[in-house]
Amino acid sequence: MTTAGLERRGLAELRGPLAFVEGVSGIAFHEFVDLVGSDGETRPGRVLSTTEKGAIVEVFGVTDGLQLDASRVRFHGRPMRFSVGLELLGRVFDGLGRPRDGLPPPACEERRTINGSPINPCRRAYPRDFLETGISSIDALNSIVLGQKIPIFTESGLAHDDLAMQIIRQARAPGVERFAVVFAALGLPRDTAERYLTGLQASGARGRLVAFLNLADDPAAERLITPRLALTAAEYLAFDAGYHVLVVLHDITNYGEALREISAARGEVPSRKGYPGYLYSDLASLFERAGRIAGRPGSITQIPIVTLPSGDLTHPIPDLTGYVTEGQIVLDREIARRGVYPPVAVLSSLSRLMSDGIGEGRTRDDHSDVAKQLYAAVAHVQRARGLASIIGVEELTEIERTYLRFGERFERELLAQAGDESRTIAQTLDRAWSVLRELPRAEMIRVRAPILEKYFAS
Amino acid sequence: MSDIAGRITEISGWVVRARANVPLALREVVLVGTERLIGEVIALDRAEATIQVYEETEGVAPGDPLFATGDPLSIELGPGLLGGIFDGMQRPLRSLADAEGDFIGRGAQMPSLDREKLWDFIPEVEAGREVHEGDVLGRVLETPVLAHPIAVPPGISGKLAWIASAGPRRIMDAIARLDDGRELTMLQKWRARVRRPVREHLVPDAPLITGQRVLDTFFPLVRGGTAAMPGGFGTGKTVTQHQLCRWAEADVIIFVGCGERGNEITQLIDELPRLVDPRTKRLLAERSILIANTSNMPVSAREASLFTGVTIGEYYRDLGYDVLLLADSLSRWAEALREISGRLGEMPAEEGYPPYLSSALAAFFERAGSVVTLSGGHGSLTIIGAISPPAGDLTEPVTRHAARFVRTFWTLDRQLAGARVFPAVSTRSSYSEVPPGVTSWWSENVSPEWAATRDGALRFLEEASLIEETARLVGVDSLPERERYLLQLSSAFQEGFLQQDAYDASDACCAPARQMTLLETFMRARSEGLEQIGKGAPVSTDFAALQRMKTEPPS
């Protein structure tokens, strides 16, 4: 029984982005519909729940100005699909996958549903190929591997756009040529989105970029579709066409808020801070679409950007994101105030897939020793700074003051780098040693003896 | 089972309502729509049944058919579980991948256990004998490290009319017949949500050694006991659990990946087959089972996965083994409860969780235990539940309720993790009951001084942390020499005892005797150092040597 082509005139109720249709039956869950107002304009939508008597439709478009009786709903008899193919490369779409670059729709043959299917855990390949970003704070201390999902936790006004773009421009991996970038703007202000596009296209990434733009004033309901389109495109490029795909989803906080908005309109029981109880599963349905599949050449690496509401790491969105993703890169306002770019907070950042992606044959034999020693030393710097703020620098012991000097050099020489400066992992590790030499050799407790012998003195 | 039992009337996500024309039972498994998606009846009224569907429901429409199975959610038990990887409703993920490809499609149905595989059955009783539930009829070697006794299922007894001779048998082949004509096979089914019967529950009293210093020495686990391990993200929960899988001295390991990351499960799937069990020199895969229901797999199956795991655990316990089950994580499972409850429009209790969160947690943890089995043997099921408290807040409902049902509580600390001290088990906020059996085990097998040394070390850590608080206010240099020394020693202790490197072959597992040696060395250094300070003599403690000791071969 298909409802393709079925049309129903008149709505029972309109509430925000939701339209209630009565007197139709057999409408499938998640079926794709068109809602046509008396203005003649067509707004796409999706069935959120359905009974024998009618359906609730989530409308992707402006519902202002719609009337109950003068509106028509057309049912498509199938879920929403998106056409995939290599023709996607170089194209810019809106949040619902319609061309935004003035060109006709790409002539792709294959249409796919946008929700994807879970990868069978038995068929995943564990990610362990180092992705060099050319950024020391990431490569040395929070190394990313192809197929990882690692968000940037940031605050308004920090340089996350620059950092994301620098990662996209500089990302490379040994032996990997087929890189593609999928960028999804989720509720971004127009100028930020344009900045991304211009920046990425100028960098020569144009021919390997697919962009989906849902802007700040686009409908919230549409925002729930945009990342799924982006990931459907990414899955095609990675697992069918063999590309290593970098997916940037910016900003997940806007996505979460859209989810809350729709949930509230449906009258659902809210969980923490009004977000729906299924926020975790919903975020997981996006982030888990990263990874690698055994026997297939490509990969999907996700870098979602999460703006922490008032800097709060414990807010439901960053909190639940952190439980799905494989680590986080945290940007810090205090470091930014000291004029350091990128302002990566080393101790609160973490890459969970780092340990298997680094070391001899992958990066360098001293990488894990250097990283462990830097963590320990930076933690010590923090304690020394805390102490200095109470009793004053003069009262500190010699070793504490040495750590303060190390902290200074660490920020200036390793953390900080120019927006167009790309360092190889060897350059990064050499810099790290140069900074570590500020400390006495006896402090190198996390470095194995042969590594210390090989690198510390030179 | 192929007859249409009703029609779907409503679909809202994975909650579906249907009007049935045959009587359905609460918790009965039903098949939804033309694709026959698996679901479970979770509420019934005169007019309609409410069903939670274990798969994506996109495309299901009112009017679609409903099929009944007449059975509740049941777990298949028998040879072939070990080394297996199953989803939350016990579908075999490897076979599913072979049949369906890299992505998990919908409506895929496949028996949990291989029907065709031949097992070498060796009978152990003779026909004519009276047999009772739990009695062993024979055995097969399930893997080279684990013999699998074939037992009479619970609830069955009678006179044995016939038993199969030694030879290869499939799990559905009859291996015995009772004189009332009932045939027994190697396959048993058991309802996932019902505990399996035992002859007697014992008080768990013996330690389950894990090779992890901070756990075994300070916060020991007992065989048949329960532990909760709360840790915010980035506190090393995963690595700690993998360590427990590898090194804990249990016969069978069950890991339930419940709503967690796909790549993490893949790492386990990749690593387990290759890991060598230090004691048997055999592969760990030969005695472990993985339940993998990742965060993007259906929520209802996530809710079921804990009970799937625990039912398998009880089964091996009943065969006389010590089983360790790790569930990662209870938070994701509780969120599944919350999602389901929310979709049903139930009145929420604290933070949106349903009011029955606590009793659901109790139903899970209470299935742990040390038992006398139906056949008179001994077995145990130890349960460790990892918790991912939102925002690392230990007062949140899941942590708080779990704490009421466990005897061991390992708190993972973000500050320790930040300083890369792993396992980041906080010595201040963790606790464990130490039953007399644990103390006597250590004193008989390791050293009679264990309890005194351990208590001394705990007091030392407590004193050091108080000193640290003072130091934060007045500065280390303002402290008296004795306090400064204790502070220095406690930081060496953190580095040289508490911190244990999972990736360092010489440090990943630490035998009890070695744990005791390290502990004694530190405590001796402490008394000597304090004595020297008391005399005004220079302190001779070699802190660097103390820190390195753990990775150096014992002299």
**At CA B353, angle to CA B365 and CA A328, rounded to 5?**
90
pLDDT in tens, A104-121: 999 998 999 998 889 999
Q: What pLDDT is recorded for position A4?
A: 76
pLDDT band, very low/low/confident/very high, at B149 (cuts 50, 70, 90): very high
Contacts of B532 (CB under 8 A, 6+ apart): B538, B539, B540
Token look-up 């996958």 returns A97
Q: What pLDDT is recorded for position A390?
A: 85
- The token pair at A151 is 């968000």
Report, in this order, helix, strand and coil percent for chain A, each rounded to 5: 40, 25, 40
CB contact under 8 A, B342 and A314: no
Residue type, A19: A
Q: What pLDDT is recorded for position B211?
A: 95
Q: What pLDDT is recorded for position A64?
A: 87
Contact list, B352 vs chain A (CB under 8 Å): 269-272, 277
Query: Which residue in chain A is spatially nearest to B10 when comparing CA positions?
Result: A51
- The token pair at A319 is 């909190």
Distance from CA of A87 to the nearest CA of B (A): 24
pLDDT at B247 over 80: yes
Query: Which residue in chain B is spatially nearest to A288 when comparing CA positions?
Result: B296
Distance from CA of A358 to the nearest CA of B (A): 13
Beta-carbon-side half-sphere exposure of residue B108 (alpha carbons within 13 Å):
21
3-state class of B281 per DSSP? Answer: coil
Query: Which residue in chain B is spatially nearest to A388 when comparing CA positions?
Result: B475
Percentage of chain A modeled with pLDDT above 70:
99
Question: In a mutagenesis test of the B interface, which of A123, A141, A395 is the best target, namely the one with the most B β-carbons within 10 Å?
Answer: A123
**Do B291 and B87 contact (CB within 8 A), yes or no?**
yes
Q: What pLDDT is recorded for position A445?
A: 87
Mean pLDDT of chain B: 92
**Do A46 and A28 contact (CB within 8 A), yes or no?**
no
**Do B335 and A277 contact (CB within 8 A), yes or no?**
yes
Residues 423-462 of B with CB under 8 A from A: none
Comparing A202-211, B424-433, B455-464, which segment has the lowest mean pLDDT?
A202-211
Contacts of A183 (CB under 8 A, 6+ apart): A168, A196, A200, A209, A210, A211, A212, A230, A247, A248, A250
pLDDT band, very low/low/confident/very high, at B376 (cuts 50, 70, 90): very high
Q: Which of A302, A298, A260 has its CA nearest to residue A284?
A: A302
CB contact under 8 A, A121 and B100: no
pLDDT band, very low/low/confident/very high, at B3 (cuts 50, 70, 90): confident
Q: What secondary structure does DSSP assign to A69-106, as a single string?
A: TT-EEEEEEEE-EEEESGGGTT-EEETTS-B-SSSPPP
Query: Which residue in chain B is spatially nearest to A289 when comparing CA positions?
Result: B296
CB contact under 8 A, A379 and B503: no
**Do A17 and A58 contact (CB within 8 A), yes or no?**
yes
pLDDT band, very low/low/confident/very high, at B2 (cuts 50, 70, 90): low
pLDDT at B555 over 70: no
Residues B167, B170, B175, B181, Cα dihedral to 10°: -150
**Do A307 and A100 contact (CB within 8 A), yes or no?**
no
pLDDT at B501 over 80: yes
Q: What pLDDT is recorded for position B393?
A: 86
* Structural Rg of chain A based on CA atoms: 25
Q: What pLDDT is recorded for position B477?
A: 80
Out of A121, A316, A347, the one facing B269 most closely (by C-beta) is: A121
Distance between CA atoms of residues B350 and A150, nearest Å: 31
Consecutive H or E run containing A185: strand A179-188
Distance between CA atoms of residues B185 and B196, nearest Å: 18
Contact list, A281 vs chain B (CB under 8 Å): 259, 295-296, 299, 335-336, 339
- The token pair at B251 is 């016969």
CB contact under 8 A, B263 and A123: no
User: Per-residue pLDDT averaged across B417-423, rounded?
Assistant: 83
- The token pair at B376 is 């008179």
End-to-end CA distance of chain A: 76
Q: Give yes or no for a cis peptide into B341 (omega within 30° of 0).
A: no
Q: What is the pTM of this model?
A: 0.89
CB contact under 8 A, B420 and A375: yes
Contact list, B62 vs chain A (CB under 8 Å): 25-27, 50-52
**Cα of A430 vs its chain's centroid, Å:** 30
Out of B11, B102, B388, the one facing A123 most closely (by C-beta) is: B102
pLDDT at A432 over 90: yes
Contact list, A271 vs chain B (CB under 8 Å): 338, 342, 348, 351-352
Distance between CA atoms of residues A372 and A445, nearest Å: 9
Q: What pLDDT is recorded for position A458?
A: 60
pLDDT band, very low/low/confident/very high, at B552 (cuts 50, 70, 90): confident
Q: What pLDDT is recorded for position B554?
A: 63
- The token pair at B128 is 């004519």
- The token pair at A125 is 């390949």
Q: What pLDDT is recorded for position A331?
A: 97
Q: What pLDDT is recorded for position B85?
A: 95
**Do A156 and A184 contact (CB within 8 A), yes or no?**
no
pLDDT at A91 over 60: yes
Distance from CA of B466 to the nearest CA of A (A): 16
Consecutive H or E run containing B360: helix B357-365
Distance between CA atoms of residues A46 and A18, nearest Å: 10
Contacts of A180 (CB under 8 A, 6+ apart): A89, A208, A209, A210, A234, A237, A243, A244, A245, A246
**Do A206 and A200 contact (CB within 8 A), yes or no?**
yes
Contact list, B342 vs chain A (CB under 8 Å): 268-269, 271, 276-278
pLDDT in tens, A139-190: 999 999 999 999 999 999 999 999 999 998 898 988 888 999 999 999 999 9
Cα distances from A259 to residues A264, A277, B526, in angstroms, run 9, 11, 57
Contacts of A267 (CB under 8 A, 6+ apart): none
Question: In a mutagenesis test of the A interface, which of B10, B14, B87, B266 is the best target, namely the one with the most A β-carbons within 10 Å?
Answer: B266
Cα distances from A303 to residues A58, A210, A248, A330, in angstroms, run 28, 15, 5, 12
Cβ neighbours of A37 (radius 10 Å): 18
Mean pLDDT of chain A: 92
Q: What pLDDT is recorded for position B280?
A: 74
* Structural Rg of chain B based on CA atoms: 26
Highest average pLDDT, of A307-321, A381-395, B163-177, B497-511, comes from B163-177
pLDDT in tens, B51-92: 999 888 999 999 999 999 988 889 999 999 999 999 999 999
Residues 38-57 of B with CB under 8 A from A: 56-57
**Bigger pLDDT: A237 or A323?**
A237
Q: What pLDDT is recorded for position A396?
A: 87
User: Per-residue pLDDT averaged across B509-526, rounded?
Assistant: 96
Contacts of B132 (CB under 8 A, 6+ apart): B152, B157, B374
pLDDT band, very low/low/confident/very high, at B476 (cuts 50, 70, 90): confident
**Do A398 and A168 contact (CB within 8 A), yes or no?**
no
CB contact under 8 A, B292 and A121: yes
Question: In a mutagenesis test of the B interface, which of A323, A383, A400 is the best target, namely the one with the most B β-carbons within 10 Å?
Answer: A323
CB contact under 8 A, B59 and A147: no
Contacts of A317 (CB under 8 A, 6+ apart): A252, A253, A256, A275, A279, A283, A306, A309
Strands A350-351 and A92-94: unpaired
